[in-house]
Chain A
Amino acid sequence: MSLRRRGPGPVVWAGIIAGTCLLLVLLQKVLWLTVPCLFALLLYYFLFSPMQWLMYRGLSREQSATTVMALCLLVMGVFFGLMLPWAAGHLLDGQSIATRYVQGGMGLLERSLVALEKSSHLFANAHLAEKLATRLDVLSGGIEAYIEPVVTAILAWAPTLLLTPFLAYFFLRDGGRFQRMLASALPNAFFERGLCLLHEVDRTTRAYFQGLLRLTVLDTLTLAAGLWWIGFPAPVWLGLICAVLAWLPFIGSLLGGLLVVLVAATDFPDAPAMAYAAIGLFLAARLLDDFVYMPVTIGRSLHLHPLVTVLMIFVGGAVAGVPGLLLVLPLLGVVMVVGEALGTLATDSRLLARYAQSRQLRREQAQAGLTG
């Protein structure tokens, strides 16, 4: 009873795309809940295997969930406890650091244009460096005005992230019970197919989020190794930040690349080769990501056609902005599984006949003894 036996037809595909867009719009409306839920799902799939290991050693599901979550919180507590003094020192002058790096990036741009003008008459006649310097002078006066709302928004969002471990704990503890409750609601005729559907939805989301975690680790290691080789400070942290930013398709990689170029331009103002090497590293990492890492982690998990993937990323961005970019692929994967299954069920006349027979039997049982 493979749910992927036959590809969905055009009507089902239209329904899948419409359903995905509708869900994106709805999720965008409750973004304060969507983001913690997303992180909770990541944490759930990360902790599920150790929890299952404990369950198979004789602990109940509740005990296993409590144990793994307590250990996870302990590790996070120790990590943040150690990081707090360092983070507090840096957050106090976070705005001035951001301003310094943005100005470093602008300086690099200006120096590059001057170098271009020196090497080419065409660029020299265009006076690009001069025009850019004038515009940047206007812009740089108000950098704080751009950074402040971003920092305020991040600080306003931070408390909702406290929901993450809370939600993940209940996903771990009650996930099985919830699945069994859903299965028990299925009519007998659709029971096996329904179980298949639930399993396939779980498999798809698990494969996506576990793939995303693996991809993040691979990206972090690759970028950290490359940045360390070039000679960047704190290569692991930079690699990790860029790998997490890459969760946003297209935009995330650009932001990560921009961040590293800004660091290079600010920390090594007299060595433009560092910035160019960082750009080269990002292009190489991008190619490695698209052609090696992505296919073996996320790509295989969702069984999506590359064209559909790219188009849906644009649709997700257009419908729900940055959250849409992040959510569109896992949502599409799940909606596709559900859409295909419903399409198959709705057209299987034998199953529908079995369902009708079952209802008839139940009706007769309920009516027994009412007359005569």
Chain B
Amino acid sequence: MRLFPRKSLPKRLSRLQALSLFATLDARELGIVEGLLHEREFLAGEVIFDAGEEGQAIYIVQEGQVQICRPGQGENGLVAELGPGQFFGELALLDNASRALQARAGSVCKMSVMFRADLMNLLEVDAKVSSKIALQLARHLGRVVRAATAGAAMEVRL
């Protein structure tokens, strides 16, 4: 039993905590991150970022659906579909490489965007917040690698 019951988070912060990238942050840390996020809205079919562009931001889906696809290949080019709470664009953000795929809004969607320079600044200034975010990013990449490996094994079996 807690001597001092934990205060419930304000709605805007609990919405942020629901996103997988920030799930482990406490109220103070969520407040810091909230100050760094930009809100964007995209219409269905609108390109969020294009393959070949240099990645400068990580996108977190708040509402709607996002399609990750290979441009110019129509339905066949669809690689993944992401929903609320999921994030994308992290690879280009980490190694400053070009975007490998195109991200397109599957429906009207609302997104939180964290700019690369702000994240890098956070990494330099607040080790605790940045380590928590980095750990979530690493977990996410681990899941991607495991999924890719499982997919490759399936292809071999087929």
Contacts and interface: CB of A to CB of B under 8 A. Distances in A.
A192 B35 CA distance: 18
Interface in A184-233: 184, 188-189, 191-193, 195-196, 199
Interface stretch (B14-22, B46-54, B149-157): B46-54
A58 interface: yes
In terms of DSSP, what is the predominant structure of the interface of chain A?
helix
A358 B115 contact: no
Interface of B: 28, 31-32, 35, 38-40, 42-50, 53-57, 113, 115, 117, 125-126, 129
A350 B50 contact: yes
30 contacts: A2-B54, A52-B125, A55-B32, A56-B125, A61-B35, A176-B35, A184-B38, A188-B40, A188-B48, A191-B40, A192-B49, A192-B53, A193-B56, A195-B38, A195-B56, A195-B57, A195-B117, A196-B56, A199-B117, A350-B50, A354-B47, A357-B46, A357-B47, A358-B43, A358-B46, A361-B43, A361-B44, A361-B45, A361-B46, A365-B43
A217 B36 CA distance: 32
Contacts of B115: 195, 199
A154 B44 CA distance: 61
The 9 closest A-B pairs by CB, nearest first: A1-B54, A58-B28, A192-B56, A361-B43, A56-B126, A199-B117, A195-B115, A1-B56, A354-B47
Nearest to A183: B38
Given A350-B50, A357-B47, A56 B42 contact: no
B98 to A, nearest CB: 9
Contacts of A2: 54
Nearest to B108: A365
Given A58-B31, A180-B38, A357-B47, A192 B125 contact: no
A29 interface: no
A362 B41 CA distance: 12
Contacts of A365: 43
B39 A184 contact: yes
Nearest to A354: B47
Given A56-B125, A58-B31, A199-B117, A192 B57 contact: yes
B46 A188 contact: yes
Interface string A156-196: 00000000000000000000100010011000110111011
A107 B106 CA distance: 84
A188 B38 contact: no
A199 B38 CA distance: 14
B49 to A, nearest CB: 7
Given A53-B125, A188-B42, 17 more contacts: A1-B55, A1-B56, A56-B32, A56-B125, A58-B31, A180-B38, A188-B40, A191-B38, A191-B113, A192-B57, A195-B115, A196-B56, A199-B117, A357-B47, A358-B46, A361-B44, A362-B43
Contacts of B49: 192
Nearest to A348: B53
A199 B116 CA distance: 10
Contacts of B129: 56
Contacts of B31: 58, 60
Contacts of A195: 38, 56-57, 115, 117
Contacts of A196: 56
A193 B53 CA distance: 10
Nearest to B43: A361
A102 to B, nearest CB: 50
A361 B46 CA distance: 7
Nearest to B42: A188
